[in-house]
């Protein structure tokens, strides 16, 4: 610890004595450990070497802690041993100095408070583990002395023995590993060695109970039925048993670990049987039963394989025709059978004569049968199409309710028929301004008065389209979406979207009326040529390399025009299909970009022209019929963070599907990643900063010993929330590695 005093300079002569008062006194550490060495250093006025005393107040008197002599320039440095526990006023005193032709007055600094405290220590670790299990103990010391050597010790044969060493972090903590021995009771403590005058110190002991490893369950048996499997077993003896985890896999191979297969149940002691009802008839299943203790230490599995019996299933049959005077069977009608009770659905397509059969149904009384005739053929009105319908002659689109159908085990429910009414149609042709037929224009049809209806078609080689099977209505809106359209004179630039009749998609389309049994023809469109934006994206290094895979997004706040493109291998891009405008914003998103000099650490997001996304991009003008070249970007290299997430059990398995969020208040960054199968993750393209927070969400994580219970969320470094997370520094062009986490299992 260093104490610093600063005083004002004084001018003296042979006949004048000038008193000096201190301007300030600074303590670089305000808290010391009893007996710890404290350093005092500073600068006194004047240029004479003179003695100084570092003193503390004791009652009404001042007791000298250390003495020293200043240099010829007035600087000094000395050390003293911190007194006993308490709060002390500390000052520096320079006695009056008389020298030939010069007098320096007594110098007395202002006082500062020095707190001297006793050391504290604690050790946190599990209370019970299984023999040979590994684990982690957290030792904590106060006051914090970063880098001070610490150790985890165990009592053996009446003496403390060090089993792991480390250093204090800036929170005073250190995580130290241990391996449990044979069954018994053991005492552990945290220990810190003597340092800088402070004596060695140990925490109160923590007691660890080591239990014998569990044996496996025995006599595992299974009794199958069509909709269940009843399991039975014999539990192993021993007080550490708390339950049996049951996991299941389809087929002849049981799950190999307590993290594999499907969790069926965790049967608490003393249960020795369980019935699994989440099974399908006629299916082979293999079960693995893992006896475990309270810390989820698992024994070798007891296994069994069985096959459920075949259940008695039901069927529905019927025929679908048109509704004309002479009924014709309709082919290619999709028939969907749905049970709300079981939330299961099955679909088939009608045969050439309109017949259908749906089999393999579980018995039930709530089946809904739906008929969807899009593309149906064989009737009198194929060109106009047919209306959707549900059994029995219900149209839920207009408020009808499907009539439920009952099916009985082993029986077929017949006569579930439908006669589909003829619909209306809208037809037309889409061309470019020069009269060329446009292919693959998407035509969407909707009705504001009937929000349940939506029709869709694509233009064919002659630019024609037909939307069929429409209910009657007077307010249909027909819009033409040109993305991907070909066949015209300006395919490279694209064409502007439009609604009937030559209306902007932001405006109000001219309504189209549809009558049943009729086709509304001539609902045509002529699509104008669009404009575009093009350029090249490179890295910002000395030798510019084209970046492939950069997402380029173009947007206009005034006309809501939007387009996106992805850069090619040489970094070039062209975004097309844009309306004319003067306020387009072009932004470049390089996640996953390749081809540059810093691919490993990624690149920073940028908007044109070299503007951050949180700022105001330089506006770009789009002119119809032009590609708007030269909208380029050179992306600066970013930094990266990587690490591994595991469970906190003895073997520490890598956890897959942990959500990792990385954020920085100073840079405005907030990005995320998901851990791979081995628990690793990497987040790149980060702006340089010293305040990154990294947090780990374990919901849905798999691969560890606590999958059945889930895992407790955590932030770096072993902190419960983002408010207490240890900040991570990111440097451009570098990867900050080992930002790891070990997630503990949730409480049962």
- Residue 234 and residue 227 in contact, taking contact as beta carbons nearer than 8 Å: no
- Binning the chain into helix, strand and coil, the percentages to the nearest 5 are 0, 50, 50
Which two three-digit tokens encode residue 272? 């020795």
Q: What's the whole-model pTM score?
A: 0.55
Element (H, E) at 607: strand 606-607
Q: Give the pLDDT of residue 25.
A: 47
- Residue 655 and residue 615 in contact, taking contact as beta carbons nearer than 8 Å: no
Distance from the Cα of residue 703 to its chain's centroid? 17
Classify residue 570 as left (phi > 0), alpha (psi -120 to 50) or beta. Answer: alpha
Which two three-digit tokens encode residue 54? 């570092």
Which two three-digit tokens encode residue 635? 């992306």
- Length of the chain as a residue count: 748
In angstroms, what is the C-alpha Rg of the chain? 40
| Intra-chain end-to-end CA distance of the chain, in Å | 47
In the block, residue with structure tokens 């006569």? 415
Q: Is CATH 2.60.40.10 what the domain over 314-420 is classified as, yes or no?
A: yes
- Residue 708 and residue 748 in contact, taking contact as beta carbons nearer than 8 Å: no
Write the CATH number of the domain with boundaries 424-527: 2.60.40.10
- Residue 705 and residue 651 in contact, taking contact as beta carbons nearer than 8 Å: yes
Separation CA 438–CA 429 (nearest Å): 8
Taking every pair of C-alpha atoms in the chain, what is the biggest distance, in angstroms?
135
Q: Give the pLDDT of residue 29.
A: 61
Burial class, 89, CB count within 10 angstroms (exposed 0-12 / middle 13-18 / buried 19+): middle
Fold (CATH) for 2-117: Immunoglobulin-like (2.60.40)
Q: Is CATH 2.60.40.10 what the domain over 218-307 is classified as, yes or no?
A: yes
Rounded to 5 degrees, what are φ and ψ at 398?
-115, 30
Q: Give the pLDDT of residue 614.
A: 67
Q: Give the pLDDT of residue 11.
A: 27
Helices and strands of the chain, counted as H and E runs: 0, 63
Please give the average pLDDT of every successive group of 10 residues along the chain, which has 748 residues. 38 26 47 88 75 90 90 83 90 81 78 89 90 90 93 94 94 94 93 92 93 88 92 90 95 94 95 94 93 87 92 90 92 95 92 94 92 94 94 79 91 95 96 96 91 87 95 94 94 94 89 95 96 96 90 93 95 95 95 92 94 84 94 95 90 92 92 95 95 94 87 94 94 95 86
Contacts of 220 by beta carbon, 8 Å cutoff, 6+ apart: 231, 232, 233, 287, 289, 302, 303, 304
Contacts of 508 by beta carbon, 8 Å cutoff, 6+ apart: none
Fold (CATH) for 120-211: Immunoglobulin-like (2.60.40)
- Residue 170 and residue 146 in contact, taking contact as beta carbons nearer than 8 Å: yes
Annotated domain spans of the chain: 2-117, 120-211, 218-307, 314-420, 424-527, 531-635, 639-743
Write down the CATH superfamily of domain 639-743: Immunoglobulins (2.60.40.10)
Burial class, 305, CB count within 10 angstroms (exposed 0-12 / middle 13-18 / buried 19+): middle
For 531-635, CATH number out of 3.40.50.12780, 3.30.420.40, 2.60.40.1120, 1.25.40.10 equals 2.60.40.1120
Please provide the DSSP assignment of 14-74 as one string. Answer: TTB---EEEEEEEES-SEEETT-EEEEEEE-SSSS--EEEEEEEETTEEEEEEEEE--TTS
Beta-sheet strands, E only, within 96-242:
97-99, 102-104, 107-108, 112-117, 120-124, 128-130, 134-142, 149-156, 159-167, 173-179, 184-192, 201-202, 206-211, 218-224, 229-234
SS3 track for 499-544: ECCCECCCCCCCCEEECCCCEECCCCEEECECEEEEEEEEECCCCC
- Residue 439 and residue 459 in contact, taking contact as beta carbons nearer than 8 Å: yes
């Amino acid at each position: 610890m260093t104490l610093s005093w600063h005083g004002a300079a004084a001018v003296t002569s042979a006949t004048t004595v000038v008193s000096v008062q201190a301007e300030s006194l600074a303590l670089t550490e305000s808290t010391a450990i009893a007996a710890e060495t404290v350093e005092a250093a500073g600068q006194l006025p004047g240029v004479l070497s003179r003695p100084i005393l570092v003193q503390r107040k004791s009652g009404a008197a001042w007791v000298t802690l250390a003495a020293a002599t200043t240099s010829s320039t007035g600087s000094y440095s000395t050390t003293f041993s911190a007194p006993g526990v308490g709060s002390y006023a500390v000052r520096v005193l320079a006695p009056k100095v008389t020298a030939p032709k010069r007098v320096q007055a007594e110098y007395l600094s202002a006082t500062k408070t020095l707190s001297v405290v006793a050391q504290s220590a604690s050790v946190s670790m599990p209370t019970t583990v299984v023999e040979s299990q590994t684990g982690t103990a957290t030792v904590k010391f106060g006051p914090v002395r970063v880098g001070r050597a610490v150790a985890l010790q165990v009592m053996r044969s009446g003496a403390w023995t060090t089993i792991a060493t480390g250093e204090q972090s800036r929170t005073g903590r250190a995580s130290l590993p241990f391996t449990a021995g044979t069954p018994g009771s053991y005492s552990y403590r945290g220990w810190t060695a003597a340092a800088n005058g402070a004596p060695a110190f140990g925490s109160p002991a923590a007691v660890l109970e080591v239990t014998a490893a569990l044996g496996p369950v025995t006599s595992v048996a299974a009794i199958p039925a069509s909709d269940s499997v009843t399991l039975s077993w014999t539990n192993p003896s021993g007080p550490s048993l708390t339950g049996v985890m049951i996991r299941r896999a389809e087929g002849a191979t049981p799950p190999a670990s307590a993290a594999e297969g499907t969790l069926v149940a965790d049967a608490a002691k003393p249960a020795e049987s369980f019935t699994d009802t989440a099974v399908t008839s006629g299916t082979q299943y293999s079960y693995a039963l893992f006896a475990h203790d309270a810390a989820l230490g698992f024994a070798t599995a007891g296994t069994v394989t069985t096959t459920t019996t075949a259940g008695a299933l039901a069927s529905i049959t019927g025929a679908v025709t048109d509704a004309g005077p002479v009924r014709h069977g309709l082919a290619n009608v999709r028939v969907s059978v749905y049970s709300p009770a079981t939330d299961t659905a099955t679909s088939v397509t009608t045969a050439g004569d309109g017949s259908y059969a749906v089999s393999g149904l579980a018995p039930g009384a709530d089946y809904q049968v739906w008929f969807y005739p899009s593309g149906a053929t064989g009737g009198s009105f194929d060109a106009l199409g047919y209306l959707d319908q549900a059994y029995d002659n219900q149209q839920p689109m207009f408020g009808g309710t499907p009539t439920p159908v009952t099916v009985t085990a082993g029986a077929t429910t017949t006569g579930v028929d439908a006669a589909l009414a003829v619909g209306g149609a809208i037809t037309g042709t889409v061309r470019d301004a020069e009269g060329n037929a446009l292919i693959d224009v998407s035509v969407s049809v909707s009705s504001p008065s009937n929000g349940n209806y939506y029709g869709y078609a694509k233009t064919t080689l002659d630019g024609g389209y037909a939307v069929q099977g429409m209910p009657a209505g007077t307010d249909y809106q027909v819009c033409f979406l040109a993305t991907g359209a070909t066949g015209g004179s300006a395919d490279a630039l694209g064409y502007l979207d439009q609604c009937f009749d030559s209306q902007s998609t932001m405006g109000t389309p001219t309504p189209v009326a549809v009558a049943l049994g009729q086709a509304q023809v001539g609902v045509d469109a002529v699509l104008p040529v669009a404009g575009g934006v093009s350029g090249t994206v490179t890295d910002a290094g000395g030798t510019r390399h084209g970046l492939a895979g950069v997402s380029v997004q173009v947007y206009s706040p005034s006309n809501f025009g939007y387009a996106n493109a992805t850069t090619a291998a040489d970094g070039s891009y062209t975004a097309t299909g844009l309306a004319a405008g003067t306020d387009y914003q072009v932004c470049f998103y390089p996640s996953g970009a390749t081809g540059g000099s810093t691919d490993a650490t990624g690149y920073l997001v940028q908007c044109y022209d070299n503007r951050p996304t949180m700022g105001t991009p330089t506006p770009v003008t789009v002119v119809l019929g032009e590609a708007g070249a030269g909208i380029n970007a050179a992306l600066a290299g970013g930094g990266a963070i990587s690490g591994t997430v595991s469970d906190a059990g003895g073997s520490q398995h890598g956890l897959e599907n942990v959500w990792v969020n990385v954020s920085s208040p100073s840079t405005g960054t907030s990005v995320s990643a998901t851990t791979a199968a081995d628990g690793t993750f990497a987040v790149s393209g980060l702006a340089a900063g010293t305040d990154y927070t990294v947090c780990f969400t374990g919901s849905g994580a798999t691969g560890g010993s606590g999958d059945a219970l889930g895992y407790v969320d955590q932030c770096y470094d072993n902190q419960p929330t983002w408010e207490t997370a240890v900040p991570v520094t990111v440097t451009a062009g570098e990867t900050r590695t080992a930002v790891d986490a070990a997630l503990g299992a949730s409480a049962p």
